[in-house]
Amino acid sequence: MRFMLVSVCLVLTVSGCGGGEMSLTEYVDNLNAVGGRALQQFEAFLASPQGEVLVAEPAEINDFTPQDLAAALERVIEIAVELKEAADAIEPPQQVADLHHRMFHDKYTFYEEALAGRANTAADWEELSQSPEMEAYRVAIAEDKQACIDLQSQLDATEARGDFADTPWIPGELKEIVDAVLGCSIFPENPEDLYRYPPSTSTP
């Protein structure tokens, strides 16, 4: 579910566009529309009994089975694929093309698919917790969390430098200010302990 943990809010003070390129305002409107639909689907699923396993605390994990996790991940993957397809249909302005492609790429589903397949066959949580697929998933979450933090720092520095002002396709007298906020705080505090069983905090 890593793709849903990153949300972007772009706030524009003015809009302008030359040629046939989509304006930043149009891009933001399109991105908010596709992202909003996916977020609604994801939040609704998390609130359902089938989605509770995704946010289960260590003490609650035995209320579910690895197969419950597999089914939940499969639903999340469906939402991720729909979001990726919708995002691919958006042609971002040059100024945010790199950011767009960094947010939406195929790797968001790779580790979920592998983990879901392994969870379907696991006899219990201990077996799944010690599997290579779970370890790869934990590493991927940790890497995504750090990448989110690094990207937020980069965006903050970009805004401070005014790199979005006086771009070639905006008349010189106009200024463009872009404020991007990523949901990095939503990542788990300790990705290395996701679905760990027995919980790492337990007394030996």
SS3 call for 80: helix
**Given this model, what pLDDT does residue 100 score?**
78
SS3 call for 12: strand
pLDDT per residue as tens digits for the range 45-101? 999 999 999 988 888 999 999 999 999 999 999 998 888 888 889 888 887 787 777
**Given this model, what pLDDT does residue 174 score?**
35
Return d(Cα 184, Cα 188) in angstroms, integer: 9
Q: Which contiguous run of DSSP H or E holds residue 57?
A: none
**Given this model, what pLDDT does residue 31 score?**
81
pLDDT for 29 beyond 90: no
Alpha carbon separation from 22 to 47, 94, 174 (Å, rounded) = 36, 9, 17
Which structure tokens are listed for 113?
A: 């698919």
pLDDT per residue as tens digits for the range 121-173? 999 999 999 999 999 999 988 988 888 788 778 767 765 555 544 444 333 33
Residues paired with residue 181 on neighbouring β-strands, in sequence order: 9
pLDDT for 103 beyond 60: yes
Residues paired with residue 9 on neighbouring β-strands, in sequence order: 181
Closest CA to 136 of 184, 192, 189, 71: 192
**Given this model, what pLDDT does residue 179 score?**
52
**Given this model, what pLDDT does residue 50 score?**
96
Which structure tokens are listed for 41?
A: 């689907």
